[in-house]
Structure 1
């Protein structure tokens, strides 16, 4: 013992054990991420070299569709009066001249949202309001199933079969060329996912901003590699096209309804469920024509800590916990690896908590050494080695995240991405704790309620007469 009594001795033990646990956890996670980084670098080198098997740069590089078809766009809406009219007007404006139908789901006990949808539907013939039979909120999947029934009725009445179902939310800013992209690729794949790009919030640079960092990296690198490894591609729930025949086959298995109303993250599970049935999914990044930029979906994400934690709690519970329980482990090595990554959020949060606690205890020990005759214990060689390696990998990780944020949002946001990693970690730890509580104490005999967050729609995206 190095002086200071039993309390300091206990603090030394806690610091050592927490630091070792965190160091080993960080090393495993960092090596996992490093493998994805290296695979992405290899892919980019092949793409720059003009390899024929590399991903296309732009939509013009894709072959024209064999049979152009009609596309159904599903937009479930509960308590969305603040955004739904602007979103629908913007979507109709951007999709002008294309073959599509908007199916917008709402509820009988949400008259404000219904009124906003009706205002657009009176002027736009390709907007159809569908009222769910039960009062809301039920679940998002339940609303989507109501839209599916409406699609089947329209097909029966018109004699025309839709080519795909495109998923969007009530706050989405769509891209004008996404239907053209889906029309080309849905003939070769049963699921096509385009990137999601969070919009920076001028009054929430840190909370809303951390979504910018996470999606820039996840949809700029992680899902790109997941697709290149031919692992199952999960749907993001927006900016996703599903082949009509594939959804129909899934509905036939599930009693006529393709979306699982008992799932917290029905979009994520849908993509993996299709992959387990041998269906092809792909994640595609390419640019539109006429300087339209990346074909992607844009949207504002939660701007307050409480709303961000609430949303992340649902994601963690649905993917890491219920997803494990409901989907299990299927597929080959690549699928197993990707599911480990999906479900490691709880463990990652524990590692982060251990690291922050070790830092706090270490700071207390340092203060004790400066203020008293207490002597700090020497660091063990194993811990010193791990800390050195992890420090180097941490610098690499922060640089990679900043780089991907910079690709999308520019240099200033890239610089903010480094300190914003702390905000991301705090939200992840709180969400993981709440997700575990939800999972342990939730009633399994009751379907999950639609746990939505408040949405805003960017004024700059609203078309002007």
Structure 2
């Protein structure tokens, strides 16, 4: 019995030593992360207080006449369920004569082709001339960048045939619900920028309070706070892949820089939209840079792109793993870093996903070890030593930072989705953390596989519902 107690004591002593080391590691990075987010908060509050970050409201609907023709690319692979409602709604919401939609699909995806064809057919049996179907002869899925480049090639063919030049390229996904005022707003903002991004407003799936809901929390936080700060400070603006437009002059510069006429989108990238936005999004000698535009329509609705995001854990993990790999791992290789302190900071923020996952995993391991030690103390088996003052105050600081983050998230999400969703956003933070941990592990595995020559493919999310199927909230 004495030997058993001695062995248990040694085991608990080792657990306490491990906990101390993990506390030092996690505490350091939690403090760094808290200061990082606090800097964004201070900048955001200052911009709000000075009126520079005010969300403007339109007094009346914008003029539907476009300054120049705009080509909308909608790449699709196995999206027969949602691309029909998406295209029908876009064609109806955007009656602009200067709009041309290029819907990309694959030769081995006849269901999606049929859905696109049906969406372009009018009630009288005629075909809407503003919709062009682009069939990729390479069997899918390739990559999203490859599909977008096929749309670009089709646009060039039409320009030569029709003797005109499109002013800009706009990107949307097959599951998106566009805002009626978005196209006119983007067209207007392209007068002052080479790249325009409007917010993304996820729709929460009623069957998934937690998984689909955490997308609402994260996009609202990013597109109501961080992106506003980045835009006002002049940092590079990452493209979200939807609701973003690029001027033709900027795309021409990208093609010239790459020395390839295949198209402006990197066919080897998993997040080609993010990469393109970062390359164009900073103003410089070559162009006008990017703009993030947060505006409300005259009816009070946010001019944003709505969509249902994954509502199952496995689908959310796959999607976020693709984002982490494309931004954190591939982005490091393809975009490198920057000598600008501001830009360097923002790229650190973009690529922190894997490190955040490690720190979060450490934190949850710390919770388990602490519970074990507290249980041992309560039963009289073992008495842990007092924590060093540095760690003690670090825990207080990180706790206060967590409370502050919860307050900010409650305010941002509650203002956009309702105060009950604001409260739910605080409760959903552990769900987001778990998804982040699993996604980072999957992203690292995929990245290592790519380094071994496996190659990239479009590991996209399957969608079974479009916001047009039900009346959007808000």
Alignment of 1:277-426 (within 5 A): 278-279=286-287, 280-289=289-298, 291=299, 293-426=301-434
Moved more, 171-180 or 275-284: 275-284
What is the count of residue pairs matched by the alignment? 456
Q: Deviations over 1:377-411 (max 9, x none)?
A: 21211111111111111100111111111111111
1:33 matches 2:37: yes
1:76 matches 2:85: no
Q: CA RMSD, aligned part only?
A: 2.2
Q: Deviations over 1:283-321 (max 9, x none)?
A: 1101123x1511100000000000001111011111111
Moved more, 60-69 or 134-143: 60-69
* 1:50 counterpart residue number: none
Would you say the 8 A contact 1:141–1:266 is kept in 2? yes
Cα distance change, pair 133–331 in 1 and its aligned pair in 2 (3 A):
farther
Aligned-partner SS, 2:228: helix
Would you say the 8 A contact 1:196–1:215 is kept in 2? yes
Would you say the 8 A contact 2:450–2:456 is kept in 1? no
1:448 matches 2:456: yes
Cα distance change, pair 64–201 in 1 and its aligned pair in 2 (3 A):
closer
Structure 2: gaps of 5 or more residues: 123-127
User: How far, CA to CA, are the matches of 1:209 and 1:355 in structure 2?
Assistant: 23
1:148 matches 2:152: yes
Moved more, 278-287 or 215-224: 278-287
Q: Give, in angstroms, the shift of residue 371 of structure 1.
A: 2.2
Would you say the 8 A contact 1:261–1:447 is kept in 2? no
Match of 1:270 among 270, 276, 279: 276
Q: Give, in angstroms, the shift of residue 460 of structure 1.
A: 4.3
Alignment of 1:130-279 (within 5 A): 130-254=134-258, 255-256=260-261, 257-275=263-281, 278-279=286-287
Q: Deviations over 1:51-98 (max 9, x none)?
A: xx6556135699989981111100001100111111111111111245
User: How far, CA to CA, are the matches of 2:53 and 2:423 in structure 1?
Assistant: 31
Aligned-partner SS, 1:437: helix
Alignment of 1:57-136 (within 5 A): 57-59=56-58, 68-123=67-122, 124-136=128-140
Would you say the 8 A contact 2:120–2:131 is kept in 1? yes
User: How far, CA to CA, are the matches of 2:65 and 2:435 in structure 1?
Assistant: 46
Aligned-partner SS, 1:106: strand
Would you say the 8 A contact 2:70–2:167 is kept in 1? yes
* 1:458 counterpart residue number: 467
Would you say the 8 A contact 2:105–2:136 is kept in 1? yes
Q: Give, in angstroms, the shift of residue 458 of structure 1.
A: 2.2
Would you say the 8 A contact 1:208–1:304 is kept in 2? yes
Structure 1: gaps of 5 or more residues: 48-52
Q: Give, in angstroms, the shift of residue 153 of structure 1.
A: 0.9
Q: Deviations over 1:134-161 (max 9, x none)?
A: 1111110000000001111111111121
Q: Give, in angstroms, the shift of residue 461 of structure 1.
A: 5.4
Would you say the 8 A contact 2:265–2:272 is kept in 1? yes
Match of 2:436 among 428, 449, 458: 428
Aligned-partner SS, 2:362: helix
| TM-score scaled by length of structure 1 | 0.94
User: How far, CA to CA, are the matches of 1:268 and 1:322 in structure 2?
Assistant: 11
Would you say the 8 A contact 2:66–2:96 is kept in 1? no
User: How far, CA to CA, are the matches of 2:61 and 2:392 in structure 1?
Assistant: 52
Cα distance change, pair 449–264 in 1 and its aligned pair in 2 (3 A):
same
Cα distance change, pair 337–202 in 1 and its aligned pair in 2 (3 A):
same
Moved more, 54-63 or 352-361: 54-63
User: How far, CA to CA, are the matches of 2:62 and 2:462 in structure 1?
Assistant: 40
| TM-score scaled by length of structure 2 | 0.92
Q: Give, in angstroms, the shift of residue 348 of structure 1.
A: 1.0
Q: Give, in angstroms, the shift of residue 443 of structure 1.
A: 3.9
Cα distance change, pair 161–364 in 1 and its aligned pair in 2 (3 A):
same
Would you say the 8 A contact 2:177–2:468 is kept in 1? no
Q: Deviations over 1:251-283 (max 9, x none)?
A: 233311100001111010111122477440111
Q: Deviations over 1:423-450 (max 9, x none)?
A: 0000001111111222223246454100
Match of 2:10 among 6, 14, 35: 6
